[in-house]
Every structure is written in C-alpha cells, then in structure tokens.
Structure 1
Amino acid sequence: MKKVDIACIIDDDPIFIYGTKRIMEMANFAESIMVFKNGEEAITKLSPIMESNESVPDIILLDLNMPIMDGWQFLDEFLKVPSSKKVIIYIVTSSVDPDDVERAKSYGEVDNYLIKPIKADQLMELMNNFQKN
C-alpha cells in the first residue's frame, strides 16, 4: 500500500484530531501528520511551504466550523496560493446543512464531504481511495 508523505488535519476539536491521528498512525498511512487548530494558523504555516514547494501536504482533512478562520475562509485563501502539487481536500464537518454540501461541490479541489463523527472504517476507506489515485 502506497504511503502518503504528509497528511494535514485542520480542525479545532481535540478529540477528532486525536482519533484521526491514531487511526492514521495505526494504518501506517502517512510519513508525517500536520495539525492546525484553525484556518488562520493553517494558511499562515502552509502558504510559505506551498510557495517554496517543500513539504506540501498530499491530503487535507478540513473542518468547516472553527474559530478565527473557518474552513470556507481557509479554502478560499488556500486556493490562491500557487503550488505545483495537487492537494486532495476532504471536508470533515458536523454541518448537515444542504447549502454547505452544495457549496463544497462548487470547489473542484474538494474530493468528498464527510459528516462527523466519522468512524474508523470510513477513514480507512477514504485513505484506501486516496492510495488508489
């Protein structure tokens, strides 16, 4: 099974972060995992990395409802940053709002929209789908 170099979790929920990291570690999914607690922290740290094309994440798990900068604001800023590497983005949120689901579809970079809480088997399936690409 192909291993991801860098996975990134952008979420303010420490329980979700802990559980997701554990599943990724147990599945030997990624060489390293970056964690950011809100969109502003993520864009501040990821922008210079992306512009220099060093250590760009392969996959991002993005929450929508976060303080300071939410997932939509992050996504809009992130897509402005030039990068030669395609980053696959999965929205993982508690929002069941049909408007959010439709909005996510308008972003070609968003691969899937998952409702929390996600189970280990859902995360494993997501990781297996990523590794097939």
Structure 2
Amino acid sequence: MNQKHIKKAFIIDDDEAINFVTKKLLANFDKDCEVTTFSKPMEALEKLKEMLTASQPLPDVLLLDINMPKMNGFEFLQKMREEGLSKRIQVIMYTSSVNPDDKKQSAGYDNVIGYMEKPFSAQAYGKILEMTYNR
C-alpha cells in the first residue's frame, strides 16, 4: 500500500512551546517527516528563499500562525506571494484566533489550503494530510 506522508513541514509560530509540542506530535505520527520550526517569520522566509535559490526541495506544507510580532501571518503570505513562493508551497493557518474575519481573509490566498485552531491534536495530523493531498 502506497501511504502518503508529509516529507517536509515548517511550523512558523512565535510561541516556542507551541512549536515544540507541534513538532513532537508531527514526529510521532510520521517518523519520516522533517519538521523545522521558526519563531521569527522573517527567518522562515529567508530560509525558503535560500532553498528556492539553491533548488532544494521546499516544504510540502507550512503551519502558519496569524498573530505574531513584527510580521503577522497575512504579511508573511504577502511576502511569499512577492517572492514567487505562494504557488509552490501549501499553507495551513494554524492559530488561536477565533476571529471569523481571519478565516475569511485566509481564504483569499490561493495557497492557503486550510485553517486549524490550536492546540494541535491527535486528529489534526490526519486533517493536515487530507488538506495537503486532497486538493
């Protein structure tokens, strides 16, 4: 049986504890998934640009928080668009925001394939797989 799995994922969240727990949970579900966390969105953006320039494989999916200092999730999505990354990487908004406007705004980006609320749960990995591969 050919089982789908996520080979590479980025978690972008200013909360180090959330990054740690989410990375551990993803690793528990898929031992082969390479998970990289970033607490600063600009560092993630620079890494993505570096990977693109070096023709390295980009992440299958980004889990992106909305409310972060200096650069929020929507500003990050805009930067991805400007750098030509938005057509290459799928994004799941991963946030504690319950604001319906955030969900609506997220839907305005072609590369945003889902919206999940924190905290990450055991069922969430299945949802991430489904969103990533059934698009």
* In 1, Cα distance between equivalents of 2:34 and 2:77: 22
* In 1, Cα distance between equivalents of 2:78 and 2:20: 26
- Unaligned residue ranges in structure 2 (runs of 5+): none
* In 1, Cα distance between equivalents of 2:63 and 2:127: 14
Report Cα offsets for 1:22-70 as digits up to 9, x if no partner.
Answer: 1111111644111111211111221121233313111100001112211
Secondary structure in 2 aligned to 1:35?
strand
Correspondence 1:30-109 to 2 at 5 A: 30-83=32-85, 86-109=88-111
Aligned residue among 6, 18, 21 for 1:19: 21
Secondary structure in 1 aligned to 2:30?
coil
* In 2, Cα distance between equivalents of 1:128 and 1:57: 16
Q: 1:2 Cα shift?
A: 2.2
* In 1, Cα distance between equivalents of 2:87 and 2:79: 16
Q: What one-letter code is carried by the residue in structure 1 that aligns with 2:123?
A: D
* In 1, Cα distance between equivalents of 2:39 and 2:86: 25
* In 2, Cα distance between equivalents of 1:45 and 1:112: 23
- Unaligned residue ranges in structure 1 (runs of 5+): none
Report Cα offsets for 1:52-103 as digits up to 9, x if no partner.
Answer: 3313111100001112211111110012223597311000011111211110
* In 2, Cα distance between equivalents of 1:104 and 1:31: 25
Whether 1:125 aligns to 2:127 is yes
Secondary structure in 1 aligned to 2:70?
coil
Preserved CA contact (<8 Å) 1:56 1:85 = no
Moved more, 35-44 or 88-97: 35-44
Match of 2:7 in 1: 5
* In 2, Cα distance between equivalents of 1:43 and 1:66: 14
* Distance verdict in 2 for CA 1:63–1:51, change over 3 Å: same
* In 2, Cα distance between equivalents of 1:28 and 1:60: 16
> Normalized against structure 2, the TM-score is what?
0.85
Q: What do you get for the CA RMSD once the two structures are aligned?
A: 2.1
Preserved CA contact (<8 Å) 2:114 2:131 = no
